[in-house]
Amino acid sequence: MTIKKTILATVVGAFTLVGAQSATAEVLRMGVEGAYPPFSQKEADGTLSGFDIDIALAICAELERECELVEQEWDGMIPALIARKYDAIVASMSITEDRRQRVDFSKSYYNTPSRFIAAEGATFELTQEGTAGLAIGVLRGTTLQCYVEKHMPDADLRLYNTQEDVFADLVTGRLDMQLNNTLQAIDGFLNTPQGAGFAFLGENLDDVDCLGEGTGIATRKDDPLADEISAAILAIREDGTYQAINVKYFDIDIFGE
């Protein structure tokens, strides 16, 4: 492990990671969510953990920058970036043409599909007619909202600020089904006691216009930081850092092509 990969974690209001060689380096503020396990979550002691969190810290170490993690609810992610609350978003944000109108993206740092979840044995047809009137929950302002609005316009679409709230309403019966990332659904719900009695419904979804082309790290428009982060992603793939983070959370390589 090189000196630049040696990092110290401290908490001073927000989480701060300092490279051993760069205690006076310019701070790189990373916008994260903290409510999307296993990609990001809040531990009992208030610290943040998860795949996205570790990736953010690894990129800071690779760039030899101080790294401040700034929590932000999902639907305010892009507005807060544009308002300079932080410099980049590391929050499982899919790369879509609509978002590219407002922000730039690094290269993709993982690529996994999305799929519906409903009660075991559910026979809903995932068509416009088959979902008419069904209560479907998704995170507000996501590619999943786009998908349901486009393909299931007659559904009772319900929008939430956190994925935890979506699952809670599914369990209590306020929702007929929900849609989100398959890996997050497995580790954050189906493999937990809360997810007992629920299962995937239908196949992996395919709609690049809505669901995007992988997951990237967003920066402000025309910020050279996007290219720097892309180079850092490739570097941590090459030196094994990415793989070490990946196997900590998943049994498969989620990087994609």
Encoded tokens for 41: 């979550």
CATH 3.40.190.10 in the chain, residues?
3-110+213-249, 114-210
Which CATH architecture does the domain made up of 114-210 adopt? 3-Layer(aba) Sandwich (3.40)
Q: What number is the average pLDDT over the span 100-112?
A: 97
User: 256 falls in which pLDDT band (50, 70, 90)?
Assistant: confident
- How many C-beta neighbours within 10 Å does residue 6 have? 12
Buried b (16+ CB within 10 A) or exposed e, 229-242: bbebbeebeeeebb
Using alpha carbons, select from 39, 41, 42 the residue that is nearest to residue 52: 39
Contact 69, 56 (CB under 8 A): yes
The DSSP annotation for 177-242 comes to EEEEEHHHHIIIIITSGGGTTEEEES-----HHHH-SSEEEEEETT-THHHHHHHHHHHHHHTSHH
Query: 20-77: per-residue pLDDT in tens?
Result: 333 446 999 999 999 999 999 999 999 999 999 999 999 999 999 999 999 999 999 9
Q: Taking residues 81-110, report their average pLDDT.
A: 97
Task: Pick the closest to residue 72 from 62, 84, 60 (CA basis).
Answer: 84
Nearest alpha carbon to residue 107 among 145, 183, 29, 55: 55
Residue 53 exposed, middle or buried by CB count within 10 Å (0-12, 13-18, 19+): buried
Beta-bridge partner residues of 17: 9, 67
Amino acid at 46: G
Distance CA 49, CA 202 (A): 31
**CA dist., res. 91 & res. 31, Å (int):** 7
pLDDT score of 9: 35
Task: Provide the sign of the torsion angle of the four alpha carbons 130, 132, 138, 144, taken in this order.
Answer: positive
Degrees, nearest 5: CA angle 227-233-234: 95
pLDDT confidence tier of residue 18, bands split at 50, 70 and 90: very low
pLDDT one-digit tens code per residue, 126-170:
999 999 999 999 999 999 999 999 999 999 999 999 999 999 999
CATH code of the domain occupying 3-110+213-249: 3.40.190.10
